């Protein structure tokens, strides 16, 4: 079946503008994650959704970042008033959340965000 | 502070030889470890994982070793092939029993180049 998809694949925006990044997880996956990878860095956890539970927002770097997951499927990551340090590849992953052990996460291709 | 460290940013090996990628962690709560492989312009893909109740897991040419007392894991690829050339990320999670919070903490990655 289809993997995780993300759109757009590339986004260039001016500093101060808002951007929305979209993620379509694998059908049936109840867990959804957003990560970002800045230049020369590893993947940094941003936010996690699991079913109808309150999301784990512990990784969001500032209150300019927010995310929604509608109907337990598609997720949108919104960055308000973008700054140059927001430039990164934003990766979405989904998984079957299995109790008792870490669950394999499937990643999308990412959205490369460039703030000029 | 980095909880998962990959101290070698790059590694170069000859085709047919063994590749050994290393990873250290500092958080003793981590109990599930994964290796992901990433090609340019693609999302990371899952390679192999190991639970903290084991010290070795093998899948074809890939073997992961875990030394809990040293908080160290390694990925062995034997024999290495040119198609293995990619960035390899080590990741760790706290499975939290049935809490199902599986956010991954990643290292910065090691670029493996396998020369023909």
3-state secondary structure of B46: strand
pLDDT, tens only, B18-66: 999 999 999 998 988 999 999 988 999 999 999 899 999 999 999 999 9
The pLDDT of residue B107: 94
| A67 neighbourhood in chain B, CB within 8 Å | none
CB atoms A101 and B51 under 8 Å: yes
Residues of A in contact with B102 (CB under 8 A): 31, 48, 95, 97, 102-103, 105
Kindly report, residue by residue over B63-76, the tens digit of the pLDDT: 999 999 999 999 99
Residue among B100, B27, B107, B34 at smallest CA distance from A56:
B100
3-state SS record for chain A = CCCCEEECCEEEECCCCCEEEEEECCCCCCEEEEEEECCCCCEEEEEEEECCCCCECCCCCCCCEEEEEHHHCCEEEEECCCCHHHCEEEEEEEECCCCCCCCCCEECCCEEEEEC
Residues of B with CB below 8 A from A101's CB? 32, 51, 95
Structure tokens at A41: 């860095």
- In this complex, how many residue pairs, one in chain A and one in chain B, have their CB atoms less than 8 Å apart? 77
% chain A with pLDDT above 90: 62
Q: Is B91 in Cβ contact with A43 (below 8 Å)?
A: yes
Q: How confident is the model over A69-111, as pLDDT tens digits?
A: 988 789 999 999 999 999 999 999 998 866 445 568 899 999 9
Inform me whether the C-beta atom of residue A67 falls under 8 Å from chain B C-beta atoms.
Answer: no
Question: In angstroms, what separates the C-alpha of B97 from chain A's closest C-alpha?
Answer: 5
pLDDT range class, residue B96, cuts 50, 70, 90: low
What's the average model confidence in pLDDT over A52-67?
A: 87
Q: Within 10 A of B115 (CB to CB), how many other CB atoms are there?
A: 11
| pLDDT given for residue B101 in this prediction | 55
């Amino acid at each position: 079946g289809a993997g995780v998809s993300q759109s757009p694949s590339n986004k260039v925006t001016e500093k101060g503008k808002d951007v929305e990044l979209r993620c379509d997880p694998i059908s049936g996956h109840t867990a959804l994650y957003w990560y970002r990878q800045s230049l020369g860095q590893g993947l940094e956890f941003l936010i996690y959704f699991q079913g109808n539970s309150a999301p784990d927002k512990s990784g969001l770097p500032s209150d300019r970042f927010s995310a929604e997951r509608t109907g337990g499927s598609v997720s949108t990551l919104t960055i308000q008033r973008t700054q140059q340090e927001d430039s990164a590849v934003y990766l979405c992953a989904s998984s079957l959340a299995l109790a008792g052990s870490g669950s394999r996460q499937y990643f999308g291709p990412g959205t490369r965000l460039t703030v000029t | 502070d980095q909880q998962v460290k990959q101290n070698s940013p790059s590694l170069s090996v000859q085709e047919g030889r063994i590749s050994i990628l290393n990873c250290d962690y500092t958080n003793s709560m981590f109990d599930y470890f994964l290796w992901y492989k990433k090609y340019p312009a693609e999302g990371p893909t899952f390679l192999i994982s190991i639970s903290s109740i084991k010290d070795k897991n093998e899948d074809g040419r890939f073997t992961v070793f875990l030394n809990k007392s040293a908080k160290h894991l390694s990925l062995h690829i034997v024999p290495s092939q040119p198609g293995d050339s990619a960035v390899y990320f080590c990741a760790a999670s706290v499975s939290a029993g049935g809490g199902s919070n599986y956010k991954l903490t990643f290292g910065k990655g090691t670029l493996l180049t396998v020369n023909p």
